[in-house]
Amino acid sequence: MLIVLQVASTYAQGIDYPRHEYPRPQFERELWMNLNGKWTYKFDFNKEGLSKNYASAKGFDKEITVPFAPESKLSGVEYKDFIPAMWYHRKIKPEASWRGQDVLLNFGAVDYYCQVFINGQLVGKHWGGSTSFSMDISNFVTLGEEADLVVYVEDDTRSKLQATGKQCHDKDSRGCFYSRTTGIWQTVWMEPVYRHALNKVQIIPDLDNKQFVFRPTYRNLQAGTKLRIRVREDKRIVGEGTFAASDAGFCVIPLRFPKTWSPENPFLYEVYFDLFDADGKQIDNVFSYAGMRKVHIEGNRVFLNNELYYQRLVLDQGFYPDGGWTAPSDDELKADIQRGKLAGFNGARMHQKVFEQRYLHWAARLGYLVWGESANWGMDNSNEAAVRNFLSEWTSIVERDINEPAIVAWTPFNETWRPKNLEIQSRMQDDVYDLTKALDPTRPVVTASGGIHAEKEDVYAEHTYKQDPMELYNQLSKSERGVYIKHEESADYAGQPYMVDEFGGIRWLHNQQNEGVAKSATSWGYGTPPQTKEEFYKRLEDQVNVILSLDNIWGFCYTQLTDVEQEQNGLFSYDRESKFDLEKLNKIFSKSREEAKKEVEKMLKDNSNALGK
């Protein structure tokens, strides 16, 4: 496997900058330069910096630690009020040894709109707070010489024209809305790339035909270029081929005895892409990985690798007490997945946030199913400008993460409630479904997780926070054609797999005295809090039993993995301390459906006897 070199490798030797690991593990090049660490910055509350030529600045008065947003503690700023615009600056110096190659400047994510300048010249612009992007800065820098990099950011959280997710539109956090994220919040880096190098490669696992299908595209196609693809299993080449470089071509590598990827056996193949010019000179070398994994739907059931598979997911908001939207370390991304697995889940619904690529890397390595979601809350679904913004951002989200084996569903929208214009929203939902299936026909699309459902969706997903198990049973068991919850404006249920992808949310204050504080002015959650931990376990198990016992439900997602600020209904506290006995949780969430049915039958019998009395 290729490893990070140059500046990034110095972190272990004591260089003080965070998030030193390679940020794009699905498409990893050997030579790169990490630009995280100390930058200077200036807030621009009146948006006057462009007219004052801040773009030509040689530095600003205050320091910020990138890639942490200014609202976060780890940024060193911790400014919590609205930031309509701000400026960043740092010196960059592309290596002289990169001669003969172009220089790409890469951003993991910048929220929301940004302009990038080098030595006062505009390099490019980008819209979208959750998506990664690159800019070719070759014509703006001289190798071996310093240059001034300036990034201008605008983030109008309250405009209703952009997706903001769980970022609060009020000054202070409240309920299930949390601190905002402004500006750079993922790693920034440079890399040298030949003009005719690979642009990207889509990897399509084809389990039924025992092959991987690769679809490469190139930065600038050159006649005579050859692409060699090698697939390796346990240090042994099991598939190899050399292909003429073509933007119209597909490269097929058959496997005699393919090994599948699943949460129970998360096997990954190593994949090497080597590009050679017409003279046989190597002009690109990229490392990747791939999982031989198939997810599909038959009737109202979901299959993984052609076998029925029940999804036991947990809601993960991806907020951190010191980093906000940005994990403080790569280890913490990995640890959140390990926490979910220890609690008995086989995956997570990444909720109202597009997670860092390294989270998906660890999900693939550890065996953890993931639903890829957007941060759609905050936008006005009736506003055609907002819809236009969302369509381009969602396209980039799917294209960035399409190769990740852990992603088993796309979820563009969460809880699409009745807007000012239902027709615009319904059209948008159907258009996004068609767009997603055009980009990736290999995964189901959960067009709307809860809320108003449009005509086109592969999985019908609904939310319920009924706390009493009998009320929950009565709500979910009384159905027409297998649909339990249906909003008046929703399209009719069409027999898809039905999932309860939000439930529970049982509030429990961590380290509370006398176990079971009934109410707290600073906490938020669903239902009346249990008075004791035993009451918590009983309520949780009864709810899980009900869902597992119903044949027409084919998966669940529990709310939620961790507390987030004032929302205190996580299985772990905000600082990731376990609030409960993980063995007990694991036993509840991994329970067999047969066992759950027996316990629900007993519950119904006991309830009937109680009513009779």
At 562-596, the pLDDT tens digits run 999 999 999 999 999 999 999 999 999 999 999 99
Dihedral in degrees, nearest 10, Cα atoms 208, 212, 215, 221? -150
**SS3 at position 420:** coil
Residue 61 has pLDDT above 70, yes or no: yes
CATH code assigned at 236 = 2.60.40.10
* In the predicted structure, residue 6 carries a pLDDT above the cut 80: no
CA distance 324 to 110: 14
Boundary residue ending a domain (273, 289, 305): 289
The one-letter code for the residue type at 380 is: D
Residue 243 lies in a domain: yes
Q: What is the pLDDT of residues 72-105, one digit of tens each?
A: 999 999 999 999 999 999 999 999 999 999 999 9
- Report DSSP letters for 332-349, one per residue: HHHHHHHHHHHTT-SEEE
Cβ proximity of 405 and 268 under 8 Å = yes
Q: What is the dihedral of CA 335, 167, 353, 154, to 10 degrees?
A: -120
CB 179 within 8 A of CB 167: yes
Tokens matching residue 156: 């109008």
Answer whether 310's CB lies under 8 Å from 554's CB: yes
Rounded Cα gap, residues 462 and 589, in angstroms: 19
Residue 439, helix vs strand vs coil? helix
> Model confidence over 354-404: pLDDT tens digits?
999 999 999 999 999 999 999 999 999 999 999 999 999 999 999 999 999
Same domain, 124 and 261: no
Q: What is the rounded average pLDDT for all residues in the chain? A: 93
Say whether pLDDT at 12 is over 50.
no
What is the CATH classification number for the domain harbouring 398?
3.20.20.80
Cis status of the peptide bond prior to 67, with omega within 30 of 0: yes
What pLDDT score was predicted for residue 514?
A: 37
* Banded model confidence at residue 479, pLDDT cuts 50, 70, 90: low
Rounded-to-integer distance, Cα 109 and Cα 89, Å = 16
Residue 482 located in a structural domain? yes
Q: What is the mean pLDDT of residues 191-214?
A: 97
pLDDT at 613: 55
Q: What is the pLDDT of residue 580?
A: 97
CA 589 distance to own-chain centroid:
23
How far is the C-alpha of 221 from the C-alpha of 194, rounded, in Å?
A: 11
Asked whether residue 430 carries a pLDDT value surpassing 70, the answer given is yes
Q: Are β-strands 498-504 and 460-463 bridged in parallel, bridged antiparallel, or unpaired?
A: parallel
Q: Which amino acid is at 3?
A: I
Is the pLDDT at 7 greater than 50, yes or no?
no
Contact 385, 161 (CB under 8 A): yes
Does 169 reside within a domain? Answer: yes
**Rg, Å, the chain Cα set:** 25
Query: Is 244 inside a domain boundary?
Result: yes
- 231, 262, 207: which is closest to 442 by C-alpha? 207
What is the phi/psi pair of residue 140, to 5°? -115, -5
Of 338, 335, 427, 342, the C-alpha closest to 381 is 427
What percent helix, strand, coil does the chain show, rounded to 5? 20, 30, 45
Nearest 5°: phi and psi at 317? -85, -20
302 lies in the same domain as 361: yes
Are residues 476 and 588 both part of a single domain? yes
Same domain, yes or no, for 262 and 321? Answer: no
Which of 127, 162, 193 is where one domain is finished? 193
Number of CB atoms found within 10 A of residue 563's CB: 28
Residue 330: strand, helix, or coil: helix
592 with 479, same domain: the answer is yes
Mean pLDDT within 132-152: 98
Task: Let me know if residue 520 belongs to a domain.
Answer: yes
pLDDT-based confidence at residue 608 (cuts at 50, 70, 90): confident
| DSSP conformation class of 493 | P
Confidence of residue 8 (pLDDT cuts 50, 70, 90): very low
Mean pLDDT of 197-210: 98
pLDDT attached to residue 419: 84
What is the DSSP secondary-structure string of 505-566?
-B---TT-TTS--S--TT-B-BSSPPSSHHHHHHHHHHHHHHHHH-TTEEEEEEE-SB-BTT
Residues shown for the chain? 613
pLDDT at 477 over 90: no
Tell me what pLDDT residue 4 has.
31
pLDDT exceeds cutoff 80 at 515: no
Q: What angle do CA 320, 324, 325 make, to 5 degrees?
A: 95
Residues 456, 408: one domain? yes
pLDDT digits (tens, 9 = 90+) for 163-187: 999 999 999 999 999 999 999 999 9
pLDDT above 70: percentage of residues in the chain: 94
What's the rounded mean pLDDT across residues 464-476?
Answer: 93
132 and 228 share one domain: no
Q: Is there a single domain that holds both residue 188 and residue 222? A: no
Q: Which domain holds residue 301?
A: 295-612
Model confidence over 252-267: pLDDT tens digits?
A: 999 999 999 999 999 9
The DSSP code sequence of 343-366 is: TT-SEEEE-SS---HHHHHHHHHH
pLDDT band at residue 512 under the 50/70/90 scheme: low
Do 283 and 301 share a domain, yes or no? no
Residue 468: both structure tokens together? 């009493």
Tokens of 480: 């027409």
DSSP 293: -
469-477 and 593-612 helices, crossing angle to 10°? 110
d(CA 113, CA 131) in angstroms, rounded, equals: 11
Instruction: Indicate the pLDDT class of residue 10, thresholds 50, 70 and 90.
Output: very low
Does residue 532 lie in a domain region?
Answer: yes
Which has more confidence, 15 or 549?
A: 549
**Of 337, 203, 204, whose CA–CA distance to 266 is shortest?**
337
Question: Is residue 397, in this structure, part of any structural domain at all?
Answer: yes
In this prediction, residues 133-138 reach a mean pLDDT of: 98
What amino acid occupies position 398? V
**What is the token pair recorded at 69?**
């947003």
Q: What is the pLDDT of residue 602?
A: 95
**CA atoms within 13 A of residue 345's CA, in its CB half-sphere:** 25
Question: Do residues 560 and 505 touch, judged by C-beta distance below 8 A?
Answer: yes
Query: Strand order of the sheet with strand 307-308?
Result: 295-298, 301-304, 307-308
Contacts of 537 (CB under 8 A, 6+ apart): 580, 584, 588
CATH number (domain holding residue 32):
2.60.120.260
DSSP state letter for 301? E
Mean pLDDT of the region 485-503: 85
Residue that is last in its domain, among 160, 178, 193: 193
Flag whether pLDDT at 1 surpasses 50. Answer: no
CA proximity to 157, closest of 167, 147, 143, 145? 167
Q: What's the rounded Cα separation, in Å, for the pair 78 and 322?
A: 9
Q: Report the interhelical angle of 593-612 vs 533-549 (nearest 10°).
A: 110
pLDDT-derived band at 531 (thresholds 50, 70, 90) equals very high
CB atoms within 10 A of CB 446: 29
Are 228 and 355 found together in one domain?
no
Within a domain: residue 1?
no
**Residues 370 and 433 placed together within one structural domain of the fold:** yes
Give 491's pLDDT tier (boundaries 50, 70, 90).
confident
Same domain, yes or no: 187 and 303: no
pLDDT band at 13 (very low <50, low <70, confident <90, very high): very low
Q: What is the mean pLDDT of residues 468-487?
A: 76
Measuring CA to CA, which residue among 125, 56, 44 is closest to residue 89?
56
**Interval 410-425 mean pLDDT:** 91
Helix (H, G, I), strand (E, B) or coil at 452: coil
Distance CA 55, CA 597 (A): 65
pTM: 0.94
- The model's confidence at residue 487, banded by pLDDT at 50, 70 and 90, is confident
Q: Is the pLDDT of residue 152 over 50?
A: yes
Number of independent structural domains in the chain: 3
Residue 27: both structure tokens together: 């498409």
